[in-house]
A and B are shown apart, each in its own frame.
Chain A
């Protein structure tokens, strides 16, 4: 990330913000009611409307939304409008299973996503496979955020602070407040981040119009400089568009951390209204982010590959030069970007910690351990995993978008267990397990070989294989019906 010439006030604001979220961690700790896993990992199942809506928003709009989405808009042009549809489709996806899942989670005190899976489909192999998939996805998710965190701190300091030290600094802050307050502190910091991000987007839209030549001029320049970026998708690209909507719409709705927020809603009505609000936010948030990427095509030509992920930084540099309001907006946005990265990473890390505590430690390693001990084990795991990931984040060299896609390839394969599980009571464990295996095999093989037949993502192909296998095995591998024997007994 290139350096931004920030003034001392901007840096002071960011320092105060980082310190204040530590304070939120302390405050959240003081609000805990008991030592149960439900209180620590689900905030006592008492999340209200605004916190729930903003934490769902913050969890889904991470570093990818700010850097990856603008970068992809720059690279792909207007065909990336598919992401607006995709983000609304996520909420449509929730509506197909969240109402029933929230009710079940209350009745059976679910803490992790696999609690539901093992309740609904009592198969040990399926439970273990789901836990492995979730852990891979969450580790991947945290890694993607760490990579961006390093670049952001390096850029903020103008290269004076190395990316690795930047990651360590933010990771330690994140671990401290999430260890202190669990989901309460994570959700509260998410809510602040969501509000900052929305305000920053609104203000940057105003500044582009007022100080950077205006949106109309920018789009006219774009038409002259790169008319090919305004072409509609044709053939294969249109299929990829559909595939993206399925990949993100279905995959993101079963994010482990999002499932836990469904469990954490104070009531069905709170969840209902939060999801209604979530369906409107992409029309503003995603459209502004994409518009910035489109404007950048004409303004900063020649960026290729992963360097296009830097267009947001270039825009912020220009906004900074516009004066005091520009400084305020960039400071706010940088705070929001840091918060976005941290909140997404902390949510994923907390979900990872809960899965280890509940599904591995309490289930397999120490079945008689109390909730307090399990939570402690989960916290230790979070610290260890984060240490390893910080090291890995300095080695990998993938663009943000590639990291973003990989987790969906796996997540999509877990979706049928939720979507079909809550809606079709007669569905048994074996078809879901066979579908998961078929889907994972297809998706991972396709991803490693780089297949995109007809423009379909490997994850979408995997989902098709998954659902077809579930349906085929459900209808053709029914257990034999009991028949009455000559002795009058069922056989």
Chain B
């Protein structure tokens, strides 16, 4: 595997995890859990979006490959 992908492995895993968390496929069948103003799943999904954004910003600022890694 190319060196720069090895270094960015944890970042890629974080992106995939937040993407999976953002889709409420895991939500229980009864769907009765309410949150403030909107159902709780909406807040969880928005929270995952915020996390994804943070992970991507981190990837851009800290995970940019050095020139000798190509």
A interface, CB within 8 angstroms of B: 78, 81-82, 84-85, 88-89, 91-92, 95, 99-100, 103, 216, 219-220, 223, 230-234, 238, 241-242, 245, 268, 272-273, 275-276, 279-280, 282-283, 287, 423-425
Q: Could you write out 14 A-B pairs with CB less than 8 Å apart? A: A81-B49, A88-B56, A91-B56, A92-B52, A95-B59, A99-B64, A103-B70, A223-B38, A230-B39, A233-B25, A241-B25, A276-B56, A283-B53, A423-B5
Residue of B nearest to A283 (CB): B53
Given contacts A233-B23, A233-B25, A238-B23, contact A276 B39 (CB under 8 A): no
Q: Closest CB of chain A to B47's CB: distance in Å?
A: 11
Given contacts A78-B38, A78-B42, A92-B59, contact A272 B64 (CB under 8 A): yes
| Contact between chains at A268 and B37 (CB < 8 Å) | no
| Contact between chains at B63 and A423 (CB < 8 Å) | no
Instruction: Please name the 7 residue pairs, one residue from A and one from B, whose CB atoms are nearest each other, closest first.
Output: A279-B56, A276-B60, A238-B25, A232-B41, A232-B24, A85-B22, A232-B27
Q: Closest CB of chain B to A252's CB: distance in Å?
A: 14
Given contacts A89-B19, A272-B60, contact A220 B37 (CB under 8 A): yes
Q: Closest CB of chain A to B59's CB: distance in Å?
A: 5
| Contact between chains at A238 and B24 (CB < 8 Å) | yes
Q: Which residues of A contact B50 (CB under 8 A)?
A: 283
Q: Closest CB of chain A to B40's CB: distance in Å?
A: 9
| Contact between chains at B38 and A279 (CB < 8 Å) | no
Q: Closest CB of chain A to B64's CB: distance in Å?
A: 5
| Complex Cα–Cα for A424 and B59 (A) | 20
Q: Which residues of B contact A81 (CB under 8 A)?
A: 42, 45-46, 49
Question: Which of B57, B61, B65 is close to A100, meaning CB atoms less than 8 Å apart?
Answer: B65
| Contact between chains at B57 and A232 (CB < 8 Å) | no
| Complex Cα–Cα for A91 and B4 (A) | 18
Interface SS majority for chain B: helix
| Complex Cα–Cα for A240 and B68 (A) | 40
Residue of B nearest to A104 (CB): B70
| Contact between chains at A232 and B31 (CB < 8 Å) | yes
Q: Which residues of A contact B63 (CB under 8 A)?
A: 95
| Contact between chains at A92 and B2 (CB < 8 Å) | no
Q: Which residues of A contact B53 (CB under 8 A)?
A: 88, 279-280, 282-283
| Contact between chains at B52 and A232 (CB < 8 Å) | no
Q: Closest CB of chain A to B31's CB: distance in Å?
A: 6
Given contacts A92-B52, A231-B31, A272-B64, contact A241 B23 (CB under 8 A): yes
| Complex Cα–Cα for A95 and B58 (A) | 11
Q: Closest CB of chain A to B54's CB: distance in Å?
A: 8
Residue of A nearest to B63 (CB): A95
Query: Which of B23, B24, B25, B52 has the most chain A CB atoms inside 10 A of its CB?
Result: B23
| Complex Cα–Cα for A100 and B67 (A) | 8
| Contact between chains at B67 and A85 (CB < 8 Å) | no
Residue of B nearest to A234 (CB): B27
Q: Closest CB of chain A to B21's CB: distance in Å?
A: 10
| Complex Cα–Cα for A408 and B49 (A) | 22
Q: Which residues of B contact A103 (CB under 8 A)?
A: 67, 70
| Complex Cα–Cα for A361 and B5 (A) | 38
Q: Which residues of B contact A82 (CB under 8 A)?
A: 22-23
| Contact between chains at A230 and B19 (CB < 8 Å) | no
| Complex Cα–Cα for A275 and B61 (A) | 9
Q: Which residues of A contact B41 (CB under 8 A)?
A: 232
| Contact between chains at B65 and A92 (CB < 8 Å) | no
